[in-house]
Every structure is written in C-alpha cells, then in structure tokens.
Structure 1
C-alpha cells in the first residue's frame, strides 16, 4: 500500500467513526498535528474524530484527489456533516516516516450557498 493510499484509508476510517482503528494502523508513536482547535497530541485528535462521527452519523466524506511527494501526502476532500449540508473543502497534509503518519495539518473552507466562482470548489 502506498503512503497516498494509507492517508486516504486513514481519513475514510476516521470519517466512519473508526478513528481508533485508523490510529492503530497508520499513526506513528511520535505523531503530532496542527489543528488549532485541539491539543497537539494524537489521543485528543482521535477522540475528537470519533466524537464528530458519533454526532454526525450521516456524514458524507468524498475524496476528490490525492497527491504524494516523497514523505508528504495531500488529500483534498469534500466533507458534509449531513447529506443536505453544502459542506466544506478540506485539505489534509500528512508527513510520513517509516510508513507511519507522524505529522498532520488540516485546512478547511466552507462551501458558500451562493458561489461567485463559476469553476466551483471541487
């Protein structure tokens, strides 16, 4: 399995409420993340991912594209907390070491109800 495939599987598992499983398979022991809304350790992020999945059981998570460059993988996704939600464009950037995720950045932009850009976000 490539690092790009690992990053995508990690996100799919977490979106389905299987963050603990995702962390067991793919996260390295020295993992850190940079989400401004949570402490920087893996346990806090894992619990937040599981809580989000419990609170949004009908979440729709769609990977649009993924890129791999040496030890970095970027995944561009559309996330909707409910099927009716306009959702958000999200980019996760993973850094790998020895085929384990050791660092994660995530960025999101809400999809507006009225979009000026005729090309869309996806």
Structure 2
C-alpha cells in the first residue's frame, strides 16, 4: 500500500506539472482514467474541457510557474499544496485533491485557490 501511495503522489505531481507547463493532452493520456470528474467551477467535466482550459492558460499566461510545496496521500486521494506565480507578480496558494481509481489513474479533482496577500496579520508564510 505504501508503494501505491508513493506512486499516486508522483503521478499527481507529474500530471499537474505537465498540464500546467503546457502539455495537458499528454498529461491526460498518461494519467487520467476512463472518467474525469471536475469540481473546479471554471472547468467542465471530462478530459477535453481540462485540456482546453490548460491550453488556454498556456497561451494567455506563458510565464506562469508552479512549485510543489508538499504532497499527502491517503487511501485513493492525493493532496498537493502548491505555490503558483503568475504575471504581474500575482502569487497564489493552491490545494488540489485528486482521486485515483484502482488502476492508478486520476478520475476526480477538487481544488481551492487563494491569492497571497501583500500584508499579513502574522509573520508566518502560507506554507
């Protein structure tokens, strides 16, 4: 079980990174299962809306970057905590959750995103 969790974490990171840097079609081919249920309200269900969304992001925001701060796996879920940098010095914290099927393929996704504020009421980072 420990090896499966480790592999799922590696696959979730590889999937997200590949899509984010501009190759969502290949990411879907390699890592997505027979279905893909999407909970982000900006992206439709299924592989093609995912591909279309990330292709558009690659064109509109070619200089964005992502850093994977941590990953956690439990049962059939992987959670990724990321730091994203976008044009105009906008930075975001994201938390993405991926559900895997029995074949080790991603079949469902949830996320939450928060812009990193310029001023904080404490001295802690968002990570």
* TM-score of the superposed pair, with normalisation by structure 2: 0.89
CA contact (8 A) 1:86 1:113 kept: no
Which residue of structure 2 aligns with residue 63 of structure 1? Answer: 68
**Aligned mates of 2:43, 2:20 — CA distance in 1:** 17
Which residue of structure 1 aligns with residue 3 of structure 2? Answer: none
Asked if residue 87 in structure 1 is aligned to residue 91 in structure 2, the reply is yes
Deviates more, 1:58-67 or 1:35-44: 35-44
Once superposed, what is the RMSD of the aligned Cα atoms?
A: 1.3
Asked if residue 72 in structure 1 is aligned to residue 77 in structure 2, the reply is yes
**Aligned mates of 1:81, 1:19 — CA distance in 2:** 18
SS in 1 for 2:90: coil
Residue-pair matches, total:
121
What's the CA shift string for 1:11-36, capped at 9, x where partnerless? 11011101111010000111111011
CA contact (8 A) 1:89 1:109 kept: yes
Which residue of structure 2 aligns with residue 8 of structure 1? Answer: 13
For structure 2, the residue ranges without an aligned partner over 5 or more in a row are 1-5
1:40: how far off?
2.1
**Aligned mates of 2:104, 2:111 — CA distance in 1:** 19
Which residue of structure 2 aligns with residue 115 of structure 1? Answer: 120
Which residue of structure 2 aligns with residue 105 of structure 1? Answer: 110
For structure 1, the residue ranges without an aligned partner over 5 or more in a row are none
Asked if residue 50 in structure 1 is aligned to residue 55 in structure 2, the reply is yes
User: Structure 1 runs of 4+ off > 4 angstroms?
Assistant: none
